[in-house]
Chain A
Amino acid sequence: MSEPRTLFDKVWDAHAILTREDGTTLLWIDRHFVHEGSFHGFGMLDHAGRPLARPDLTTAVADHYVPSRDRDQPIRDPEVANMMQMLRTNATRHGIDLLDLDDPRQGIVHVVGPEQGLTLPGLTMVCGDSHTSTHGAFGALAFGIGASEVSHVLATQTLWQRRPKTLRITVDGTLSPHVAGKDVILAIIGRIGAGGAVGHVIEYAGSAIRGLEMEGRLTVCNMSIEAGARAGMIAPDDTTFAWVEGRARAPKGDAFAAAVAAWRRLPSDEGARFDREVTLNAADIAPTVTWGTSPETALPVTALVPDPAAEPDAARRTRIREQLDYIGLEPGRPLEGTPIDRVFIGSCTNARLPDLRAAAAVLRGRRAVVPGLVVAGSVPVKLAAEAEGLDRVFRDAGLRWGEPGCSMCVGMNGDLVAPGERCAATSNRNFQGRQGPGSRTHLMSPAMAAAAAVRGAITDVRNLA
């Protein structure tokens, strides 16, 4: 009998073309996504005069720079207009399917991939974007790459990779009411740290993970990179297969049945070895928010702002103090009740239909006391939300309902948080200046962001529901 293997091992082994003496493996890549920011990669390809190896496995999506309003009008910022035009030119010239600004499939690449059935169990997937880890929710090996690697994949449909280590994170038990996938992943990063999974591929396992719907699993895998992981994966199961079935680019009919039969063999074998193991108890996870400028500063909303004076380690003490200075919080004060200036509900972490439903459930019949922006992850999500009347709930609460894209997650399209403003955000990064120079970001779930909008302060959604 062969050695028991992990989910990761099985996907890796199925894509290894050859392994060199130095241990580097040439991996076949099943799907490659490009976006406006990929122009450097195309530039290198053109500079070397090389053709695209497999345009049929490449998909181009306009997401990072797309405006969230006035889509029927020309883009005012000439540099942004140029980025969009470059993507169009590169896609057309190389024969790549393009989900442009006016395409009914358009949206954030990590929302679009699964939605179109391009994301499947057992695939290798890459994109010049660190949150490519999102697609691992389907049991794919998906990771972000830089521009040089983008050009390598464009030219060869392969990548040289060193086999990463494996880390299994098991979350067993039942999640409490109002605790979502976002709280699970924030709690995990709070536990293992922003560099806690460097060099590893994480497999999320346990009954609490299996109990999540696909969108919750996508949220968890999305933030794998915030723990430093190369990728995050979840074993595919009936929930996965049911979600994939019938999607436009997924296998159909007999091919689908054959695929499911193959996918059922993907989960880690009994007794498979991981390089590291971490376990969490689902019942211990509360609605979680960050207080600092790294996602590892995640704490239960009921916690107090940490006090650097209480930290024995000098380096960590300095690090806490620097973050508190930037974020403008007082040590020892309760996190709950911290006044906020703005909310953002969106991003590849939390802009799918169940995310918008969770936010709308809190906002229904209530008013937001601060300005806010809600941006669906894709046009199909936006249309589905509108069919349910969710856009009305957000608008009636006083929030703006924007057009799909990355928007205020990174502010490349001009949707910025003003200097010094504090934003309750459902995105994945609270880095210094991430939402705009001087912006202060608190990461949380959609329900928690909605609660913050209603109270104008960080709020335990359980006290509002």
Chain B
Amino acid sequence: MTPFTTLTGPAIGLDRANIDTDQIIPARFLRKPRSAGYQNFLFHDLRREEADFPLNGATAAILVADSNFGCGSSREGAVYALVDAGIRCVIAPSFGDIFAGNAGKNGLLTIVLPAPLAAALRAQLPAEMTIDLPGQHLHFPDGTVHSFDMDPFRKRCLIEGLDDIGLTLAHAAEIAAFQERDRTARPWAAPSP
């Protein structure tokens, strides 16, 4: 995964709430291997059903949506489709929890911005904007600068591109000790043969 620092690129607004992952990538594409890329599946049906869908005929590095973006199915394919299409950051007032987790694992930055501020930003799009992840600042197209909150661990993973599993396996001794304790504390927790 590509480490994330500062990003300047075209941003597009998606003026709707509750965009579920079935919209981001319809279920029938989930059987496809990742190797050929998932970019063509991104918003596949919406782009065809709605001639004026904001991503039609446009490319974006940044998407700015309304609340609860990425709700619904846990399919990580939704993140693959965004990332493979060149989108590096999604900004919204809130995200589906599983989607946000998947995004972090694939170098896709998710930024939570209060609803009025996100709406103000969408009103300035499409346009270029800049995201400064280390400094936690957004440079809106109108020149204003706004700070955003970020989970420190997720930030570190995005900037350094950390291998999660490698990190966890470094705690092998603690995990083994937990299992030892747990066998006595909860003998019933193992499945019966």
Contacts and interface: CB of A to CB of B under 8 A. Distances in A.
B110 interface: no
Interface in A88-125: 117-118, 120, 122-123
A249 interface: yes
Contacts of B45: 432-433, 437
Nearest to B152: A22
Interface residues of B, number: 60
B186 A250 contact: no
Interface string B41-79: 000011001000000000000000011100111111101
B188 A256 contact: yes
Interface residues of A, number: 81
Contacts of A130: 72-74, 98
B168 A160 contact: yes
A136 interface: no
Nearest to A126: B74
A169 interface: no
Contacts of B151: 22, 162
B18 interface: yes
B174 interface: yes
Interface of B: 15-18, 20, 22-23, 26-28, 30-31, 34, 45-46, 49, 66-68, 71-77, 79, 94-99, 101-102, 105-106, 119, 151-153, 156, 164-165, 168-169, 171, 174-175, 178-179, 182, 185-192
A80 B38 CA distance: 18
B102 to A, nearest CB: 4
Nearest to A412: B27
A210 B68 CA distance: 30
B186 A195 contact: no
A322 B16 contact: yes
A396 B49 CA distance: 39
Interface stretch (A148-156, A172-180, A386-394, A454-462): A148-156
Contacts of A31: 191
Most buried by B among A83, A315, A429: A315
A18 interface: yes
A37 B17 contact: no
A431 B20 contact: yes
Contacts of A155: 165, 168-169
Given A195-B67, A228-B68, A255-B187, A431 B102 contact: no
Contacts of B31: 65, 79-80, 82-83, 412
Interface of A: 14, 17-18, 20, 22-24, 26, 28, 30-31, 37, 40, 43, 48, 50, 56-57, 65, 79-80, 82-83, 117-118, 120, 122-123, 128-130, 143-149, 151-152, 155-158, 160, 162, 164, 194-195, 198-199, 225-226, 228, 230, 248-252, 255-256, 258-259, 262, 294, 296, 315, 318-319, 322, 410-412, 429, 431-434, 437-438
Contacts of A147: 76, 102
Given A37-B75, A48-B165, A194-B68, A17 B174 contact: yes
A35 to B, nearest CB: 11
B74 A410 contact: no
Contact of B105 (A14, A48, A146): A146
Given A43-B34, A434-B27, 13 more contacts: A17-B171, A50-B165, A82-B31, A122-B186, A128-B74, A144-B98, A146-B79, A147-B102, A195-B94, A198-B94, A230-B97, A255-B187, A433-B22
A17 B97 contact: no
Nearest to A297: B18
B185 A410 contact: no
Given A120-B189, A122-B186, A156 B68 contact: no
Contacts of A120: 188-189
Contacts of A194: 18, 68, 71
A14 B101 contact: no
A258 B16 contact: no
Nearest to B185: A14
Contacts of B106: 148
B167 to A, nearest CB: 8
A411 B119 CA distance: 35
A40 B76 contact: yes
Contacts of A14: 185-186
A118 B188 CA distance: 11
A30 B191 CA distance: 9
Given A14-B186, A156-B175, A431-B23, A294 B18 contact: yes
